[in-house]
Amino acid sequence: MVNYLYDSSFEGLLTSIYEAYYRRETPNHIFPYNYIQQSLIDSNIHIATNLEKASKVYESIHRKISYQALKNVYHAYLSELNDIEIIILNYLKLGFKKGKEIDLHLSEDNVLAIHTAAKKVTREAHLMLGLLRFKQLENNIYYAQYKPDHNITTLISSHFVNRFSDQYWVIHDLKRHYAAVFDKNSCVFTDISEQKILSSLNNNDNYEKLWKNYFTNICITERINPKQQKNYMPKRYWNFLTEKQL
């Protein structure tokens, strides 16, 4: 049994797919480096990320399958679900056979799994466009923390680049220690530590109080329905919602 280990970047994953094709072998798993699982019978192969190989795969997905398939693969990759890498490989294998009609085969297990994973990611990304809360720091930077299930920071940042084009802002993924930073001109993605920011958090923002006040008063008490509320806005996101803090 062969396992591939890659550096958990999208390019790394594409390189692994390239290798799987040209070594004519089917890896049992494709793991990120940091996924440590020793086994006596499996042999692990480290895949060094190679941009040239990655871009070949990227181009051929676009050309031979479809742009939609490329998008599906990228979104599925961002889902970080267990063993999604191997499903991506199987999806692409089928895709290179079937061409652009691959996404019509909805009852095919691998296609279905990719669509479900991609859907999870785009859904959470859309939900976060609304649920992300910015805090105004003293130096007039707007700072948002969150812990999304999937790695969606790159997906959602373009929305905020368009929307808040006249303010400095940071979107910080606490789970992955990853952030998008915008300086009114361009958006940069970087690894970031938590402590730096926390010291300058302003806990005395009058608008936060106003917002909490608004949140309580807009509810019609005769129609109270916590189940529906949790359906739309799962409780795991409440930690970072201003209106749900006491």
Partner 1 sequence: MELQKKLEILSAAAKYDVSCSSSGSNRKNTKGGLGNSSACGICHSWADDGRCISLLKILLTNYCIYDCAYCVNRLSNDVPRATFTPYEVAGLTINFYRRNYIEGLFLSSSIIKDPNYTMEQLYESVRILREEYNFNGYIHLKAIPGADLSLIEASGKLVDRMSLNIELPSSKGLQLLAPQKTRKNILKPMSFVNSKIVETKDNRRFFKSSSRFVPAGQSTQLIVGATPDHDLKILRLSEGLYKGYGLKRVYYSAYVPVSNNPNLPTISRPPLLREHRLYQADWLLRFYGFSSSELLDEEHPDFDTDFDPKCSWALRNINLFPVDINKSDYEMLLRIPGVGVRSARKIITARRVKQLDFDDLKKLGIVLKRARFFITCKGKYYSSIGLDEMQIREVLADKSRKSHDNWEQLSIFTNMVELPTLEDKLMSLVGEI
Which residues are near partner 1 by CB under 8 A? 101, 103-107, 112, 126, 129-136, 142, 144, 159-160, 162-167, 207-211, 213-215, 217-229, 231-233, 241-243
- 8 vs 66, which CB is nearer to partner 1? 66
Asked if residue 78 lies in contact with residue 152, where contact means CB atoms within 8 angstroms, the answer is yes
Q: Which residues contact 5 (CB under 8 A, 6 or more apart)?
A: 30, 31, 32, 33, 35, 44, 45, 46, 47
- 26 vs 202, which CB is nearer to partner 1? 202
| Residue 174 Cβ vs partner 1, minimum distance, rounded to whole Å | 17
- 45 vs 241, which CB is nearer to partner 1? 241
Q: Which residues contact 31 (CB under 8 A, 6 or more apart)?
A: 3, 4, 5, 6, 37, 85
| Residue 31 Cβ vs partner 1, minimum distance, rounded to whole Å | 28
Sheet holding 168-173, edge to edge: 134-136, 141-146, 168-173, 178-182, 187-191
The torsion angle over the Cα atoms of residues 226, 208, 214 and 235, rounded to 10 degrees, is -10
Measured on CA atoms in the order 93, 98, 99, 105, is the torsion positive or negative? negative
- 196 vs 223, which CB is nearer to partner 1? 223
| Residue 113 Cβ vs partner 1, minimum distance, rounded to whole Å | 11
| Residue 184 Cβ vs partner 1, minimum distance, rounded to whole Å | 9
- 35 vs 238, which CB is nearer to partner 1? 238
| Residue 104 Cβ vs partner 1, minimum distance, rounded to whole Å | 5
The total of other beta-carbon atoms located within 10 Å of residue 233's CB is 15
